[in-house]
A and B are shown apart, each in its own frame.
Chain A
Amino acid sequence: MNRYVISKKKNEDTYDIDELVPIVAWLTEKYTSKESTSVSYSTARQLMGAVIYCIREFEFSEGLESTALNLGGRHMAKDAYEKGYELVIEKVNQTKKMYDTMLQSFQAYGNLNYYDTAVKGIEGFLKCYDARYNPQNNIITMDYPVLQRLDQMCGVDLINRYLNCIRLEQLFLSQLPENFIRSALERYHCDYEDLFINICSIVLHNVLCCMIVEKKMIKMKISEMKFTQKEYAEIKRFALHGTVQELKKRLLKLTEVLVEKGYHNSRELLTYLQADLSDFAVELRNMASNNHFTL
């Protein structure tokens, strides 16, 4: 018999197809408003996906601790589905709130893709998301690249995490002078406004390099923002010292100091920024080796 593995936490946490089909049948009835007795395979697949998504949502968020629905160590599929659906709705509302809060102070620094994705894209998602019949569909393509990998997720889970990444980036950027950010972006590429790039990553690299050469970012004149040859030499020394792994560790130390001093030691932000450090360590080492800095 086919069994759908919903969770891998316990061996018994699998559901027979026999338990899921009645839920899909009930959902189909709702979907067609009882006006069609049959649906196409693709619709049935979509509705089965919706049921599995909600059950998964329930199991992952509750950690299988809820006792009211627990029958011999295992939840009834229908109850798990209903609870999961409520959690999906809750998550949509939470995402909406996060979006509204973020929007109040959102800055794209002129990058069109950042603005289109974060402002228009998320809004489009919130307008079109169908928690009942297609919760696994995240609708938008999320063209703005964030630093965290979100491969395994879909639906509102994915959008919620994606939006959280953007929120953290905004938190990071908001503490820095706007002209410093724009200058860093312009030095990266004169057409940065049209590129599909991560703003936070470019700015973080510049901030870390400023910390390496102990350059103050506040109240800096535009002419002073570009690194001097002397400063480049210092960065080069820093980058070529030790292995790449050691360089990454030193960059992490600097990031920790930055987060501690400028962002109330936010662990969430540190974890997010940390995701960029492996790439940056290699990039910085290459720039130093080739004596060609793009900062």
Chain B
Amino acid sequence: MINEKEIDALLKQDTYYLEKVLQSNSYTKQFGVQLSTQEVLELLQDRKYSLAEQERVEFGEGVLQKIIFTFCDSPYIYQDNYVDMIAQLQDIFYLYKNESMDELTDDELLAYMKEKFENECQGSAEHLEDTCLEGFARMIRAGTCGFMGMNHARNEE
């Protein structure tokens, strides 16, 4: 839980992000999940720690909203685990942006994460992080581009 001082600091810096993420509630409520202002602030705080830990800099709108839109319709995500799950997925996302040496776009990584999360991992973020993405990142580093862009579309056929 973050304290009031941190909330004030975050509100000053992140009003724009806060509003953007809160707007996503209007879309996610159809799947039975929503975020309160306090929860969004926690996620934004978590984003800062995660970016610092992974030694990354984020500009623009950030990826949090994209993560929410990608995963909100998952049958493994419900109101009780929603915030924790989004926070975990956010951490995993930044970790594997680094591990894949930035060879993947945000959308490609999110699409892969979603696909594995829904099927092979059956909603387990730990399995996604430690097993699926680990092997995937190794393949990317070895030069495979089977999941990326045009190649992915071709492979799907």
Stretch at the interface among A5-13, A31-39, A189-197, A236-244: A31-39
- Give bound CA distance, A28 to B62, whole Å: 13
A2 → chain B, closest Cβ, in Å?
15
- Give bound CA distance, A29 to B107, whole Å: 15
* Contact indicator A38/B94 (Cβ below 8 Å): yes
Contacting A at CB under 8 A, from B51-72, are 51, 55-63, 66
A residues near B97, Cβ cutoff 8 Å: 36, 38, 40
- Give bound CA distance, A43 to B58, whole Å: 11
* Contact indicator A37/B55 (Cβ below 8 Å): no
* Contact indicator B59/A29 (Cβ below 8 Å): yes
- Give bound CA distance, A86 to B63, whole Å: 33
* Contact indicator B102/A37 (Cβ below 8 Å): no
B20 → chain A, closest Cβ, in Å?
12
B34 → chain A, closest Cβ, in Å?
23
Q: A35: nearest residue on chain B (CB-CB)?
A: B105
A residues near B57, Cβ cutoff 8 Å: 28, 38-41, 44
Counting CB contacts under 8 A, is B6 at the interface? no
Q: B57: nearest residue on chain A (CB-CB)?
A: A44
Counting CB contacts under 8 A, is A208 at the interface? no
A residues near B102, Cβ cutoff 8 Å: 36, 39-40, 43
Instruction: Write out, one digit per residue, whether chain B residues 72-105 have a CB within 8 A of any chain A CB (1) or not (0).
Output: 0000000000000000000000100110001001
- Give bound CA distance, A28 to B59, whole Å: 8
- Give bound CA distance, A36 to B98, whole Å: 12
* Contact indicator A38/B56 (Cβ below 8 Å): yes
Counting CB contacts under 8 A, is B19 at the interface? no
* Contact indicator A41/B59 (Cβ below 8 Å): no
Counting CB contacts under 8 A, is B106 at the interface? yes
Most buried by B among A36, A41, A44: A36
Instruction: Write out, one digit per residue, whether chain A residues 75-116 have a CB within 8 A of any chain B CB (1) or not (0).
Output: 000000000000000000000000000000000000000000
- Give bound CA distance, A41 to B66, whole Å: 22
- Give bound CA distance, A37 to B57, whole Å: 9
Most buried by A among B57, B60, B94, B102: B57
Contacting A at CB under 8 A, from B28-62, are 51, 55-62
* Cβ-neighbour of A25 out of B51, B60, B63, B66 (below 8 A): B60
Instruction: Write out, one digit per residue, whether chain A residues 34-69 have a CB within 8 A of any chain B CB (1) or not (0).
Output: 011111110110000000000000000000000000
* Contact indicator A35/B106 (Cβ below 8 Å): yes
* Cβ-neighbour of B51 out of A24, A29, A32, A38 (below 8 A): A38
A22 → chain B, closest Cβ, in Å?
9
B residues near A25, Cβ cutoff 8 Å: 59-60
A residues near B98, Cβ cutoff 8 Å: 40
Q: B106: nearest residue on chain A (CB-CB)?
A: A36
Q: B66: nearest residue on chain A (CB-CB)?
A: A37
- Give bound CA distance, A158 to B98, whole Å: 32
A52 → chain B, closest Cβ, in Å?
16
Most buried by A among B55, B60, B66, B98: B60
B3 → chain A, closest Cβ, in Å?
26
A residues near B55, Cβ cutoff 8 Å: 40-41
Most buried by A among B55, B58, B66: B58
* Contact indicator B94/A36 (Cβ below 8 Å): no
* Contact indicator A38/B63 (Cβ below 8 Å): yes
A37 → chain B, closest Cβ, in Å?
5
A133 → chain B, closest Cβ, in Å?
13
Question: Contact residues of A with B, CB < 8 Å?
Answer: 24-25, 28-29, 32, 35-41, 43-44
Q: Known A-B contacts: A36-B105, A39-B102, A40-B98. Give 9 more (CB < 8 A).
A: A25-B59, A29-B59, A35-B107, A37-B63, A37-B106, A38-B58, A39-B56, A40-B56, A40-B97
| Complex A-B: 17 CB contacts under 8 Å | A28-B57, A29-B59, A29-B60, A35-B106, A36-B97, A37-B58, A37-B59, A37-B60, A38-B57, A38-B59, A38-B63, A39-B57, A40-B55, A40-B97, A40-B102, A41-B55, A41-B56
